[in-house]
Amino acid sequence: MAKNQTSPLSALNPDKYQRTIKEPVCLSGIGIHSGLPSTVRLIPAPIDQGIIFIVNGITIPAIAAEVVDTSRGTSLRGISVVEHLLSAIYGLSISNLTIEVAGAEVPTMDGSALPFVKAIANIGVVEQTTLAKTLKLASKIEVSDGNASIIAVPSDRFKINFMINFEGIGRQEYGFDPAIQSFEKEIAPARTFGYIEELEALKRKGLGKGASLENALVLTKDGYKNTPRFDNEPVRHKILDLIGDLCLAGMPVKAEITANKSGHKLNVEFAKKLMEVFGC
């Protein structure tokens, strides 16, 4: 294929050329915590720029060093809940992108990464003229926090295995291998989730104002309150979140990753460790 031509939406393939989107595209919605309107405008970017946010005229690189909070999503300096959009970007192997944000949060859309994936698919992806950079592990690395852990071992490709265990849904395990599975079909549609009691507590604290049965999978002690898109949607969403947080390492990683009960805090710590190991 001649470079700077539209590329197929092959996902998570860091062995080819850097990629950006073909033309700008806007998505609007509400923030899951503020409940307020928010818009993101995705703009093509030049070779080697990486992923950057622009908020109120301030440029914020999508890197782990810019993370300021992981308690209710991954929040960078100046913009909150970035992980679903970043998951779509990483999952589609977008190397360079400028994201202009009007609002305090990335819009939650339907609670998954799928609306972002579809928007990018609609306008197309362009291969650029420089090979994509990749973090390839030489030895095992590990981070842990209590009974949660992430372990990555060297591999010639990218793969994630994830395990969770929550009241009402029990133990769920899922492995995602983009060499044989579709990010768009198997991971991107999985919605954010939480317990109904947790949502009520968040709203009492002035958070979760934008959350609803339309943009979240709600759990109870007896199972799902609304209909899941997959019987194991929560663990798939955990993989979605981890992929989004891995975007904060600055470039794709080649490794087989095993995550156990990990959340945003540990995901970001893992991304920071990757950057430290590779001197990024």
Residue 123 contacts residue 22 (beta carbons within 8 Å): yes
Residue 17 contacts residue 66 (beta carbons within 8 Å): no
Residue 246 contacts residue 229 (beta carbons within 8 Å): no
- Angstrom CA distances, 208 to 6, 20, 40, 273, stand at 39, 32, 20, 30
Report the alpha-carbon distance of residue 185 to residue 165 in Å, rounded.
23
Amino acid (1-letter code) at residue 272: K
Question: Does residue 190 sit in helix, strand or coil?
Answer: coil
Residues 266, 233, 244, 127: is their CA dihedral positive or negative? Answer: positive
Question: Among candidates 107, 114, 102, 100, which has minimal Cα distance to 81?
Answer: 107
Report the alpha-carbon distance of residue 107 to residue 61 in Å, rounded.
19
264 is catalytic: yes
DSSP per-residue string spanning 28-56: EEE-TTT--EEEEEEEE--TT--EEEEET
Residue 166 contacts residue 234 (beta carbons within 8 Å): yes
Residue 215 contacts residue 108 (beta carbons within 8 Å): yes
Active-site residues: which are they?
264
